[in-house]
Amino acid sequence: MKIPKLEQIEFSPLLWKEFLAADSVWKTIEEFYPYLRENAAKIDYCKGIEIDVSSTRIKKLINGYVVLDLLEWDRKIQLRFKMWQLFEDLVGEMMREALKESDECTVVNVDRLIKGLDYVVTNSRSKDGWNVGIQCKRYIGSALPKCKLGKFGSWSRGTSAVQLTERGNELRQRWGSKKKFVLVCFNAFRNNTQQDRRFGNLKKSWNCVMAIDKSKKSDTPYTYRIAIPELDRIVSWC
């Protein structure tokens, strides 16, 4: 497995909490990196990480998330936080970095305050205080029959393309057309007709569906081809 160089890795705030905990094995990226190199050689089905992102810091943040995702998926490490929590933290930090030159915009965590959203980007010039809402889903599951959603657990419902399509429609009905709603996902896009159709439906319900992981090879699930051209459009909405 080809891994990023040490200077190309950075952690989001929640990942730093993971590393700085009193009983953590590692306290710095420098301490962690030799372990990463040693174990990366054992993950022979990984073809490396290809990131096409203009921002140097955002690229580093994604590298930090990806290398831990690889090791956690392959059971080389155990983490206190769930990967979906770390993904939400990554998205928030990416947005803060993308908007760092904008004095009027602030990224605010609204999980459990606004149903269906994890973040809003406040704007001091906006009449309602914010223009863009963001929902993070590390994983988007296969379609669940709409008539049977109630029979599944909250996690299955929450990651279902069916429910996420409904959630996007509900947000737009509640807040109107002036606000933009973004669904951000990671290890979610696979090359099959049903998945393409589900993502097509999601894009009708959300103003933007940003799939960070563009890899479509299901036989090598951890070959990453990462690009986020949609980020510039989202920033302009903010």
pTM: 0.87
Confirm if 234 and 182 have CB atoms less than 8 A apart: yes
Task: Give the pLDDT of residue 27.
Answer: 86
Could you list the beta-strand ranges (E) of the chain. Answer: 49-52, 105-109, 119-123, 130-137, 180-185, 208-211, 224-227
pLDDT tens, per residue, the chain with 238 residues: 678 889 999 999 999 988 887 778 888 889 999 998 888 878 766 666 777 788 999 999 998 998 888 888 888 888 889 989 999 999 999 999 999 999 899 999 999 899 899 999 999 888 888 999 999 998 886 655 555 545 444 444 457 788 898 899 999 999 988 899 999 988 766 666 777 777 788 889 999 998 887 665 555 555 566 778 889 899 999 9
In the DSSP assignment, the letter for residue 76 is S
State how beta strands 208-211 and 180-185 pair: parallel
Number of Cβ within a 10 Å radius of residue 168: 23
